[in-house]
Amino acid sequence: MGDSSPLPPTNRFVLGSSALDESYSPLPSLYLAFLAIWAFSAVSWIINTWRNRFFQTSNLQWMLASVPLMKAFQLALSFSFWYSCINFHICSLWMSFGVYVTGILFQTASFVSFMLISHGYCIVYERLSIHERRRTAALGCILYLTLVGYKAAVPYSTAFVMLSYSLAFFLIFRHISSNLLVLREQLISIEGEHTHTMHNALYTKYNMFKKFQGAMQFVAMVEVLIYMNVDESLDAYWFRLLVREWAQFCIFLYIGWTFRAQEVSPHFSVMPALKSKGEMIVPPVYSIELDAADFNDLVSQEWHVGVPTSLPYSKHAKSSNPLLVIVQNPRSPSRRGAEELMRSTTNTAISASKYEDIENQV
């Protein structure tokens, strides 16, 4: 997400001149202000994810927490570097190197997070396949190495960075379009079932990806503007830093708010385990009634959303298809009423013959 180096892109770094001192004097205050903002955002994100960990699968949210933490660490190093450099005239080379490294890690973690979201991890699919994980890791490594070369002024590194960003944005937009198509087909197929809760869950996911698509288009535009900016004047460096940091924070605030851990539809976590090349159909949901004695024998007294229960292994199938078990304690104050669950799941109950057809496609 742009150039986050502690030094302006110039070789004329000589303190002591009044013009240079006035140009750099706002930097410690700016870095300290953004450090407080990002640190507060990181702590708020972690607390919110912990509080809402029972409402939906929070693996994605825990991974996204690394982005504001990395950014806060980079801003802390930047503030320390510029404060000591301006006030004590001690410009630590190692601290500057730490800012460069954390900046590269922040950019790499950002795009890896964008890739995970575009894949539909914990939103459309429960987990990624081995090939998807390998491709995401390979793209992260390529982006990291090209950014290191760009920071070190390696010849032709700018061209490699642009190619890496182009490939990353191409894959992100491709996966977003694919998931939007899958969710749209699921919404169309479920409209005839009159299951409002399941429809609301799918529509929520669809809106999340539409917002993410718009956000990534804005990110692509910002990246192009940043790398097209060839102005190396020292007078406006603090202003360019202010604009860039605010743009980064607003982008991540919007994406983070969209994909935050929250209390959503009880069927939000109903999703296939892996992406399938065939037609995607929402897994069927069944409801059963338990008396108090049977319910007390359960391990937990709260919701169990998306708990996979393996079927007996079939010799004619490559792998067993999981059943999806949803259990609610009717007396749990932190969950919706049992009546709403019974109304929604009763409408989704299907006959045994229809279930056999769906099993072959899920």
What is the pairing mode between strands 304-310 and 322-327? Answer: antiparallel
Q: pLDDT tens digits for 26-72?
A: 899 999 999 999 999 999 999 988 888 776 666 888 889 999 999 99
- Cβ pair 123, 205 in contact under 8 A: yes
pLDDT given at position 339? 44
Which residues of the chain are under the pLDDT cut of 50? 9-14, 279, 286, 300-323, 332-362
C-alpha to C-alpha distance for 23 and 212, rounded to whole angstroms: 37
CB atoms within 10 A of CB 292: 8
Return residue ranges of the chain for CATH 1.20.1070: 18-258
Q: The tokens 């894959």 sit on which residue? A: 171
Structural tokens at position 130:
């081995």
Half-sphere exposure of 126 (CA within 13 A, CB side): 15
Q: Reduced to 3 states, what is the DSSP secondary structure of residue 308?
A: strand
- DSSP bridge partners of 307: 325
Q: Which CATH class is domain 18-258?
A: mainly alpha
